[in-house]
Each structure stands twice: as structure tokens, then as C-alpha cells.
Amino acid sequence: MAVSITNDPRLDAADDSVAEDGTAPVDSRVISPTVLASAGERGMLPFVLLAALVAFAAIVRIIATHNDLWLDELISLQIAKAVKTPWQIFSVVHSDNNHHLNTLYLYLMRAHDSAPVYRYLSVVWGVSLVPAGYWLLARRSRVEAVILAGLLACSYPLIHFSSEARGYSGALFGSMLACAALTRWMAETGESRRSFFLGLTYGMAIVVAILSHLTACLVWLPLALGSLLEMLERPGRMKWMLRWVGVNLLPAFVLAALYFFDLRFLTELGGQPMTVLHGLGRMLALAIGWPAKDSATVCVVLVPLIGLTIWQLTAESKAKEPLAILLALIYLVPLACMLLLQPAFFSPRYFLVVVPFLYVPLAMLLARLVGRRTGLLALTGLLMLFVAGQTYLYANFLRVGRGQFTAAIEYMLAHNSSSQLSLSSNQDFRSSVELSYFAPRLLHDRHMVYVPRDRQGSAATDWFILHQEGYEASGPATLKQPGHPTWYRAAYFGASELSGQAWTIYSHQPPD
């Protein structure tokens, strides 16, 4: 029995000694990571691993759907229940919480009353992201493809938003699928059915991404620009320019129509003030599974990773890999936003669409370890650190969800002596949306009276809700309002950092 050794330039040779027929005998020197990697490239193992990763991605995302809907999901659900026809989602509703395909799905599911059901479309997109990432790198190396699929399956930010009834997950999937199709389309040398299919897949994937969430434009613009620059360097550039226009025509038409019917009338609800730099830093930290929130320790990890990424992209550019320019331009977009934009409010999730592409050069770098004698140990160790960080973030998310509104209302009911629950808060709009959904499900034969802020000076309540972001600590121990008794902190119901609302509950009774 003999095992052939493939000549893969990305893998080190296992051993220089071979028999006359070009094969090496099976012994301890030859059964090495290189041979195993070669067998994995050729056999069914990558597909088995991909199937396992897809199943794992589905399980962890479905589990993450079983918690309370939060403010933005509830607003989207209100929109879906208010419209009379699907067309009104695209032409009448002009809200930044209207993520068109997600709202359309909620419209179709409006008869249900189940948080997981409302989130299943996002789960489908999120699970589909894993094979889309595999497809992106499979043309280069199945080892790289499997590693990327694993990173996508285990990433906490990707799990979080692919278990939430909003449009981010569709934007992630569409952007990754578009990049995969575009790189293969760019590798085509002439017109063919395959080239047409790849161009159509690219265009339709961008449409799905944009109609899911407009932040997908942060990826579409670099993909379009990078492919244009590559086309301009080819002989017969006019022919390639026309083909480039053809593959981008459909998403351009859809975006123009969306602008005409909806986006030019768009209204924004606002949010918590945050700098673009801080938002980008937090998203990068969560993407690599770094649980600490201080900027200093995050930089210790990010700086070498950024250096290695630049080194890998430089090597790929010299090898004429089309992915190199696409990824470089994708990374420049957040940096340009950080330097040029001064928004009134910002959130780390606005950069979420870039996160899957951060894992692409990391997968390339990690795959370099597979063909080395001690590489598998190093690869295993690095992946275990990544998974450990993501597991910590995921476990914390399962504990607090996107807010614990049901538990908070149940707490107030359990500690309320009368049949009437009277309360007020520092956020009338948020309270009206959240309480109108959860309170009827929990009050039963009791009543609730909510006092808005402009009447809090003349009407006393038993409870006060302090709304906070998930990354903020609980409210102060006491609150004071002129002409009213002191509020004492009774309980804190936290939320995840990326999306959700935390409640600090106050009463007039001092804590025991």
C-alpha cells in the first residue's frame, strides 16, 4: 500500500524520500499533517465537516431565538401588522426599522405569536452563511474553506444577529454569497453559461443583501469597485466593462427603485450616542471573541492580527488573487466612515456586515499551519482560544438575552401589593412599545397604569423603569425627583451588548 503526496505549494513537503514510482511507503515519517491535508483536499472529509458545522450553526442559532423580543424587533413587528399589503412595506413605511425582506416575512407570519417563529428567517440566512463562506474559499483550498466555515459557524456576533428578527442576517448571507460568486466570475476568461450564472448569482445576492439591510452597501461598493479596477487591467477592457455593468445592473436598479419609493422619505428613530471609533473597536473585539471591554487589552490582540492580515493580503495580491483587492477595499470602508462620518448616534452593529470578511484572511493564515509538523497543535490551540472566547460571549447572551422584559414585569407583579400596577420610566416611547406587547400577556386579571414623563410631577407611581443599553452597568442605587419620595433600586435586568434594552427597576421601598 502506498500514499501519493500531492505537490501543493501551500503545504510543506512531508518527506523528501520517495520510491521510484513516485510514492512513499506508509510509515511514521509520511503519515504527517501534509498527507492528511492532502487527503482532506481530495476526499469527503471536508464535506462531512461542513455538514457538521452547518448542523452546529443551526442548533446554536435556534437556541438563541428563545428569549424576549426587544425594542427594534417589536417595532418591526408593529410595522408588519400595520400594513395592509406587502407592497406598502416598500412604498408606505419610511422607517429605519423597516428591513424590507424581514418585514415581509413578519407580515406573512403575523398570525403567529412566537418569538422563535419571527426569527426563523434570520436563522435560515445565518445557517446559509456557513456554506456560502465555504464556497468562497473552496476554489482555493478545502482546508481554508472548512476553517472559514468553522469561524462563521462559531462567531458570537454572527450567531446573535442570525437569531434576531431583523435584516442583518440576510445582509451577511447575501454579501458573502455575492463575494464568492464575484471572485469566481472574475476568474472566468470568457463568456459562457457558467459566467452568466455566476454574474446572475452575484447580482441577486446583492439584491437580497440590500433588501435585508442597507448596511450591505458597505460591501457592495468595495466589491463593485474592486472588480472594476481588475477589469480595467485586462485586454479588451471595453468588453469587460460591459460585462461589469451587466452584473451590477440588477442591484443598481433595485437600489434606485428603493430610493425612489422609500429611502428618500426615510425617518430615523435615534439611539444612544457613540463614536464610530468606539463602535468599530467593540465590533472587532467581539468578532475575535475578546470578552474584555477596555481598549488597551483589545489592541494587544488586534494589532498583531491586523499586521498578519496585511501580510496575508499582500502575499495574495502578489499571487494575483482577486480576493485581495476586494477584501482590502471592504476593510477600508469602516476606516473611511470612522474618519469622515460624525453621526448623531452609532452602533457597533452598523459594521456587522464586514465581520464575515475579517475571518477570510484568518482562515488563510490558519490553513498555513496544517501542512507543518507542529502546525496542527498550533491550529488546534488557536481555534480553541477562539471558540472559548465566543462561548463565553454566547453563554452570557443566553443568560440575559436582548432584554428580560417578561422577568422584569413578573418581578414587579410579584412585589406589588395592589391589583393595579402603576409605573413610569425615563423613556416613554420605548416603554410604550415594550409594555404594550408584554404586559397583556402577563397581567391576567390585574391592571397596569403607565404615567408618561410630562405627568410624573403630578402623579405618583409605585415603580420606575430606567432604560439602559446592554453595555451599561445597572442604574444608581437611588434616584430623586423633585416633590417625590426617593426611588430605591430594586432589581436589574440586563441585556446583551450588541442589541437589546436593559431595565433597572426602582421602587419607593428601600432594599432589605
* Domain boundary pick from 363, 378, 400: 400
* Domain boundary pick from 350, 383, 400: 400
Residues 135 and 218 in one domain: yes
Q: Per-residue confidence of the chain (512 residues) as pLDDT tens digits?
A: 333 333 343 333 333 334 444 444 433 333 344 444 454 566 899 999 999 999 999 999 999 999 999 999 999 999 999 999 999 999 999 998 999 999 999 999 999 999 999 999 999 999 999 999 999 999 999 999 999 999 999 999 999 999 999 999 999 999 999 999 999 999 877 678 889 999 999 999 999 999 999 999 999 999 999 999 999 888 888 888 999 999 999 999 999 999 999 999 988 776 666 777 778 888 989 999 987 776 667 778 888 889 999 999 999 999 989 999 999 999 999 888 877 877 767 788 889 999 999 999 999 999 999 877 788 899 999 999 999 999 999 999 999 999 999 999 999 999 998 889 999 999 999 999 999 999 999 998 899 999 998 887 777 889 999 999 888 889 999 998 777 788 999 999 999 989 999 999 999 888 87
> How is residue 47 written as a grid cell?
464535506
Residue 179 backbone phi and psi in degrees, to 5: -65, -40
Q: How far apart are CA 463 and CA 418, in angstroms?
A: 12
Burial class (CB in 10 A: 0-12, 13-18, 19+), 427: middle
Q: Give the closest residue to 175 by CA, choosing from 219, 134, 213.
A: 219
Residues 318, 319, 325, 327: is their CA dihedral positive or negative?
negative
Q: Check: CB of residue 452 under 8 Å from CB of residue 458.
A: no
**Pairing relationship of beta strands 420-425 and 447-450 according to DSSP bridges:** parallel
Q: Give the closest residue to 506 by CA, choosing from 446, 424, 448.
A: 424
Residue 2 backbone phi and psi in degrees, to 5: -140, 155
The pLDDT of residue 471: 84
The pLDDT of residue 299: 79
Q: Give the closest residue to 408 by CA, choosing from 430, 389, 429, 390.
A: 430
Residues 125 and 259 in one domain: yes
Residues 240 and 298 in one domain: yes
Whether residue 12 lies inside any domain: the answer is no
Whether residue 313 lies inside any domain: the answer is yes
Residues 178 and 269 in one domain: yes
Q: Check: CB of residue 491 under 8 Å from CB of residue 507.
A: no
Residues 317 and 216 in one domain: yes
Residues 275 and 372 in one domain: yes
User: CA separation (Å) from 406 to 401, 403, 443, 493?
Assistant: 11, 9, 11, 10
The pLDDT of residue 17: 38
Residues 297 and 419 in one domain: no
Strand partners, 311: none
Residues 333 and 444 in one domain: no
What global pTM score does this model have?
A: 0.89
For residue 142, which amino acid is it? R
Residue 427 structural domain: 405-507
Residues 139 and 230 in one domain: yes
Whether residue 498 lies inside any domain: the answer is yes
Number of structural domains the chain divides into: 2
Residues 117 and 189 in one domain: yes
pLDDT in tens, 258-270: 999 999 998 877 6
SS3 of 495, please?
coil
pLDDT in tens, 287-301: 999 877 766 677 788
* Domain boundary pick from 349, 384, 400: 400
Residues 419 and 340 in one domain: no
Q: Check: CB of residue 355 under 8 Å from CB of residue 283.
A: yes
**Pairing relationship of beta strands 24-25 and 420-425 according to DSSP bridges:** unpaired
The pLDDT of residue 137: 97
Residues 374 and 439 in one domain: no
Q: Give the closest residue to 361 by CA, choosing from 310, 322, 317.
A: 310
Stated length of the chain: 512
Q: How far apart are CA 441 and CA 436, in angstroms?
A: 9
The pLDDT of residue 272: 67
The pLDDT of residue 373: 79
- Cβ-count burial 323-343 (b if 16+ within 10 Å, e if not): bbbbbbbbbebbeebbeeeee
Whether residue 36 lies inside any domain: the answer is no
Degrees to nearest 5, angle at CA 196 with 136 and 123: 45
